[in-house]
Amino acid sequence: MDYLDDLFEFLKIDTTSAKGKGEEGAKYLVDYMKSNGIDARLIRDKSRNPYVYGEINVKANKTLLVYNHYDVQPVEPLDKWNSDPFKPKEKDGKIFARGVGDDKGTLMARLQKIISLYKENKLKINIKFIYEGEEEIGSPNIVSFLNNYRDLLKSNYILWEGSGRGPDGSPEIVLGVKGLLYVELRASTEKDLHSMYAPIVQNPVWKLVYFINNLRDQSGKVKIEGFYDDVKWLTEEETRYLKADKEEMEKALGQNVPDNFMKKLVEEPTCNIAGIFGGYTGEGSKTVIPSYAFVKIDFRLVPNQDPEKILTKLKSIADKENIEVVVYGKVKPYRTSISSEISKALIQSAKEVYKIDPVVLPNSPGTGPMESFANILNNNQVADGIGVDNAGSNIHSFNENIFKDDYFKAMDWLQSFLEKIS
C-alpha cells in the first residue's frame, strides 16, 4: 500500500454529485477495502449514489463509526484552476485536486491508517466505515438510509468527516454542524421583450432583486420575520475555546474579517447568494427585458433552528409575490456536549500529537448530516476532528489543496485518538 499513490488514484475519479457522478468512486472504495482485508459493500437504498459500508470486527467491547463522504462540489469556474482538478498535482509541499480537502483526503488518510493498525494487530476497537455520496448536495436521502440501517450502524462513538487545522494552525475539533436550507427562487413572464417596453411591463430580474433585498440587510442580518426565534446563542464556556489568528484567516480568505469572526462563524445563521442569473449574460450588450430569472440561496442554520420552519416562512412571503421556491437541500443543525468521552479523547490526542491546544468549535460553520446520525442512531457522542485540510484549502472553490505533511499528521492523531477511546 503506497499511501499517496492510492490517494491520487481516488482523487482522479470525478464524483461530483450535483452532476450525478459518484458510482465509480464508490466502487473504487469497496475494491480498495476488500483488497486490504476489510469486509465492504455498496448499499443502494434510495440514493442515486450508493453508500459504501465497511467493517472491521476485532471483538472489542466498543465500536467507532467513521463517517466520510466521497462526493465533491462542482469544479466551476474551471478556468480559475491552475491545474486539472481531477489530475492531482504535488507542488511546494501541497497536493492540489478537487476533494483533497473536502473530503476524499481525510477519508483516505483515516482508512489507510486503520488498515495499517489492523494489519499490525494494534486495533483495539471495532470499526465501522460509512461513506456517503450525496453530502455535497445536502444529503437528501440520509434520513431514509439511517432509518433503514439503524442496526447495522450501531456504535458507541461517531467520528465525523474530518476537521484539520484552523486558521491559526491549531488542530480543530468540532462538536456539531450548522444546518442548511438551499433554495432556488424563480420569477418569470411569458417572453423576452425589447427593453423599450420597460415603462409598462414587469421585469422578473427586478422582481427578484426587490424580493431578495428584503431577505437580508447589509450587515448580514436576515430580515425574514421570526428567523432568529429558535437560535441557541453560545454560552460563555462555549466561546472560551474559539481562538483563531485573524491575520491568517484574512490571508486564507483574501478578505478582511471582523474582530469577533470566530464567534460569528460558529453562532450566526446566514442567507447567502450562491448564484444569480437572468437575461443576457454574453459579451457586449443586448437591450432586452428577460422573461426568466433565478437566484440560488443557501441559508446556514444554527441550533435549534429548523429548516422546515424557515422554509415555511420563506414560502409564505414568496407566494405573495408569485415567486417560485425550489428546494435543493434541507439539513438540521446539531451540537454535542463538550464533556463527552469522544470530545475528551479528541482534545487529549490532539494536544499530544500537535503539541498545542486544539480549537474546539461547538459547531462547525459548515453543514453535514450530523444531526440525523445523532438522533436516528440514538448516539450523542458525535464529534469531528482528525482531518487533513487547513483554512487555506479552498474547499468548494478552485485550486483546492492540502499540505502533504498534514495528511500524515492526521494519521498520527487518529492513532492516538483510537488508543484513548478504545
- Between 25 and 365, CB nearer to its own copies: 365
13: helix, coil or strand?
A: coil
Binding mask 56-75 for its own copies (x = CB under 8 A): -----------------xx-
- Between 8 and 334, CB nearer to its own copies: 334
Backbone angles phi, psi at 86, to 5 degrees: -110, 15
Quick one: which of 36, 394, 401, 416 contacts its own copies (CB under 8 A)?
Answer: 394
Neighbour order of strands in the sheet with 292-301: 292-301, 179-188, 324-331
Could you tell me the CA-to-CA distances from 139 to 17, 90, 303 in Å, in that order?
10, 31, 18
CA distance 123 to 129: 14
Reading the block at residue 203, the C-alpha cell is 421585469
- Binding of its own copies at residue 258 (CB under 8 A)? yes
Which residues in the 76-115 window bind its own copies by CB under 8 A? Answer: 76-77, 80
- Smallest distance from its own copies to CB 82, Å: 12
Reading the block at residue 301, the C-alpha cell is 442554520
SS (H, E, C) 59-77: CCCCEEEEEEECCECCCCC
- Between 62 and 223, CB nearer to its own copies: 223
Binding mask 297-316 for its own copies (x = CB under 8 A): -x-x----------------
Are the C-beta atoms of residues 134 and 331 closer than 8 Å to each other? no
CA distance 400 to 98: 6
- Smallest distance from its own copies to CB 19, Å: 7
- Between 195 and 304, CB nearer to its own copies: 195
- Between 281 and 378, CB nearer to its own copies: 281
Reading the block at residue 259, the C-alpha cell is 474582530
- Smallest distance from its own copies to CB 230, Å: 17
Quick one: which of 32, 241, 261, 403 contacts its own copies (CB under 8 A)?
Answer: 261
Residue 58 CB neighbours (<10 A): 15
- Binding of its own copies at residue 1 (CB under 8 A)? no
Which residues in the 181-240 window bind its own copies by CB under 8 A? Answer: 182, 184, 189-203, 205-206, 209-210, 212-213, 216, 218, 220
- Smallest distance from its own copies to CB 279, Å: 4
Quick one: which of 364, 372, 390, 416 contacts its own copies (CB under 8 A)?
Answer: 364
Are the C-beta atoms of residues 209 and 276 closer than 8 Å to each other? no
CA distance 151 to 143: 14
